[in-house]
Structure 1
Amino acid sequence: MTEGKWRIPPSVLRLLDRAPDDRAVVVLLRHSVRDHLPEGDAGYVLPITDIGRQLALELGGLLRGRLRTLHASPLVRCVQTAQALAEGAGANVAVVPNRLLGDPGVFVLDGRRAWANWKQLGHEGVMRHLVTEAVALSGMARPDEAARFLVHSMLVAAANRPGLHVFVTHDSLVTATAARLLDKPLGSDDWPWYLEGAFFWMAEDGVHSAYREDEAVRPGPLCGLATGDVLEFARREIAATVGFDTGARFFLAGGAFKSLLTGRPPRDLDLWATSEHDRALLIDALRACGARIAGPRMFADAFEVAGRVVEIPHKTEPDTLAERLARFDIGLSAVGVEHRPDGEWSVMVHPIALESAVRREVRLLKPLVNWKYALATLERMRRYAVELGFSVPREEEAEVWRVFEAQDAELRAALIERYRRTGAGGFGIMEEVACRFQ
């Protein structure tokens, strides 16, 4: 479409007509019209034009009564597009910033490294890679895992609320995500116009995807604890918090990987250094990334950065990822990735973690190695179940109580005191203790 003849893309009009009214429909939308990018410039600060605002207002009018939520890449043209959509729709809807939609984001992990790909391959070469290749370019994510995680997280954000949930982003994200979910290598003729987008919604038979004339259904969950998903989650979180150039050997391990199942950001990240030197390198990297000290922790130094709490445990052992995972008590925590100074990565997922995900149950690693914290483990099991919509099998809770009741009165009192110091409180733990030992 030539400049001066911009209009709302016909594919969007058609898909708006056929999008189901009784479902939460996610629209991954390219921002509205902007000026041409300066030569050799990514154009991070370019706003939308006057005609771009007019078109976004017009499209917003077509969303009137159906628009439920708005999300946008932090870049100004995406935020401006979202604001104009809300105004046109007459909707009192706040624009929620979403870093997955930006640069860096779900596909671009390290902007400096990734920009070299655009200089070497050109935009068309990078796009060809994103829609056809399995491996990651330097500073970027593996495309298939990234696309599935993005759609998964958007559908979770929509929270099954019927209506339209619009996520404003850039052409590369729309193209790559649509190509991967449709399983079709979209070419340059398929790149989205301004304000063109891909539509996604959940139904009984799986995730429905629609872009222009193409539609597809993908059964089953989009993300899980498969090796590729775990690795890309770790690379994305590490890039956003400490970066790829720490020079440290460390593990990202623990409950953060539940995000692959929930689609929501992790509560916190535990980065386990394997030596005091590696630990110092991690803390230096956090400070270089602008991290600030978070509240005190009993077993770790905690920092806030990029919307995350990152904890660096005081202990610098064990030395292997397998040993690290063996020291957890809950199967879903026994997931980890090792990062080495040479840039190599390795992934380990405990079989009980995989079993837990398949059975949708919170299961223990037995025997409990941290039995002195049995009550905190029970609280965490119940919290995991609520977060994931899983169950806690009766026999798993019974095992925790068996360990607790096997102690003499003095040790039980010590376990209760330890829980008071380390537990978050809630989930009826102390009430149940009182009932059992009144």
Structure 2
Amino acid sequence: MSKNLNNSLSTPAVEKSTGHTPSAPAPSHLPDSMIASVGLLPEGERLILFTRHSLRERSDGNGFASYQLPLTPKGRILAKSWGRWLAGHLPYSLDVDSISSPIGRCIDTAQLMQEGAGLRREITHQSLLVEPGSLVTEPEIANPIFKEIGVLNFINRFLQGNLEGTKNTYQGGLDLLSLFYQHQPQHGHLMLAVSHDTLLSAFLAVMFDRVEIDWNDWPKMMEGVFLWFDDKPFDQANAHFVWRGKIYTRPISALLDAHRKAGLHPSTLLLPPEVRLR
């Protein structure tokens, strides 16, 4: 990311990770960062892979990708081979239901990754993994702006709180964290959460407390963040995540404080039902 880390973000002790680096070659076209991240994963956690879908057909020159665009043949091969690789080289079971954006290329990515792992599990469509949902609340306002200024400027204006028709920045990040928290698999399992570049880039920027990103920060197709939580109530837990070969920890309480300081009430958040914030 393009700015220095804020004080509420830290890297945990090295002993949290297994330090294993699988020797098998990575699937063709997989972003290099994914294998670097795999080598830092802990063992025995309730792991989530929040990933962008696999390789798709090209979008227009302004970054607008129709929801009708499918995976390419190479993208289908990549998703399946990545699922096979994860199942064969991680100390985690992928035998768990997945969650996905309801858009075809995301569902196909999840299904192909399951097939590569030798599985056929349920794939639940989640509205928070697509737009409108996680960031956009009023598409009739936000969509014309998106098409006018392009995807990167759109995300940066969202991060700066200067974009009509969208949620508060921290609300968007907290809603996604709550979704993942409520869908954690059992210990020693890895759940897939397949979405789009806009949501993943905005989520990571919130986790890093950024108000601006650039194209170097942008997630590639089939690039994702590994995520897990402490075994604590949502509002008391840390969110640990591995992105591009580095481990980070973000206290959820820090995000809740930032949301509160923005003058917003906790009732606007999609929190787990057992959380009762004043």
Query: TM-score, normalising length from structure 1?
Result: 0.49
- Give, as a single letter, the amino acid of the residue that structure 1 aligns with 2:225: A
Aligned to 2:55: 33
The 1:155/1:261 distance shift into structure 2, 3 A limit, reads closer
Deviation at 1:17, TM superposition (A): 3.0
Alignment equivalent of 1:86, drawn from 76, 96, 114:
114
1:7-156 pair list within 5 angstroms? 7-38=29-60, 42-64=65-87, 66-67=93-94, 68-130=96-158, 132-133=159-160, 135=161, 137-156=163-182
Amino acid corresponding to residue 33 of structure 1 in structure 2? L
Q: Is the 8 A contact 2:68 2:104 kept in 1?
A: yes
2:266 is matched by which residue type in structure 1? V
Alpha-carbon distance, 1:99 to partner = 0.7
In structure 2, the residue matched to 1:281 is none
C-alpha root-mean-square deviation of aligned residues, in Å?
2.7
Partners of 2:85 and 2:60 lie apart in 1 by 33
Three-state SS of the structure 2 residue aligned to 1:63 is helix
Q: How does 1:267-416 map to 2 (within 5 A)?
A: 354=278
Q: In structure 2, do the counterparts of structure 1 residues 214 and 11 end up closer, same or farther at CA, with 3 Å as the change threshold?
A: same
Equivalent in the alignment of 1:200: 227
Secondary structure at 1:200 match in 2: strand
Task: Report what 1:218 is aligned to.
Answer: 250
TM-score calculated relative to the size of structure 2? 0.75
Change (3 A) 1:70 1:42: same
Task: State the distance in 2 between where 1:223 and 1:168 align.
Answer: 25
Please give the alpha-carbon distance, in whole angstroms, between the structure 2 residues aligned to 1:42 and 1:32. Answer: 14
Q: Which has the larger radius of gyration?
A: 1
CA contact (8 A) 2:51 2:194 kept: yes
Deviation at 1:109, TM superposition (A): 1.8
**CA distance, structure 2, for counterparts of residue 72 and residue 136 of structure 1:** 28
For 2:173, give the aligned amino acid.
A
What is the rounded CA distance, in whole Å, between the counterparts of 2:274 and 2:188 in structure 1? 18
Letter in 2 for 1:211: W
Please point out which of 185, 188, 191 is paired with 1:165: 191
Write the distance in 1 (CA, Å) between the matches of 2:185 and 2:107.
Answer: 22
5+ residue gaps, structure 2, are 1-26, 232-236
Conservation of the 8 A alpha-carbon contact between 1:8 and 1:196: yes
What SS does structure 1 have at the residue aligned with 2:133? coil
Q: How does 1:173-192 map to 2 (within 5 A)?
A: 173-184=199-210, 185-192=212-219
Provide the rounded CA distance (Å) in 1 between the counterparts of 2:104 and 2:178: 25
Q: CA deviation at 1:151?
A: 1.6
In the alignment, which residue of structure 1 is the partner of 2:8? none
Distance change >3 Å, CA 191–CA 229, structure 1 → 2 = farther
Whether the 8 Å contact between 1:24 and 1:159 is mirrored in structure 2 is yes
The question of whether the paired residues in 1 share the 8 Å contact of 2:47 and 2:191 is answered with yes
Amino acid paired to 1:173: L
Overall identity of the aligned pairs, in %: 26
Does the aligned pair in 2 maintain the 1:106–1:150 contact within 8 Å? Answer: yes
| Structure 1, unpaired ranges of 5+ | 234-258, 265-331, 333-352, 355-438
Taking the aligned partners of 2:141 and 2:274, their CA distance within structure 1 comes to 27
Taking the aligned partners of 2:124 and 2:241, their CA distance within structure 1 comes to 23
Q: Looking at secondary structure, tell me which structure has more helix per residue.
A: 1
Partner of 1:324: none
1:210 alignment partner AA: V
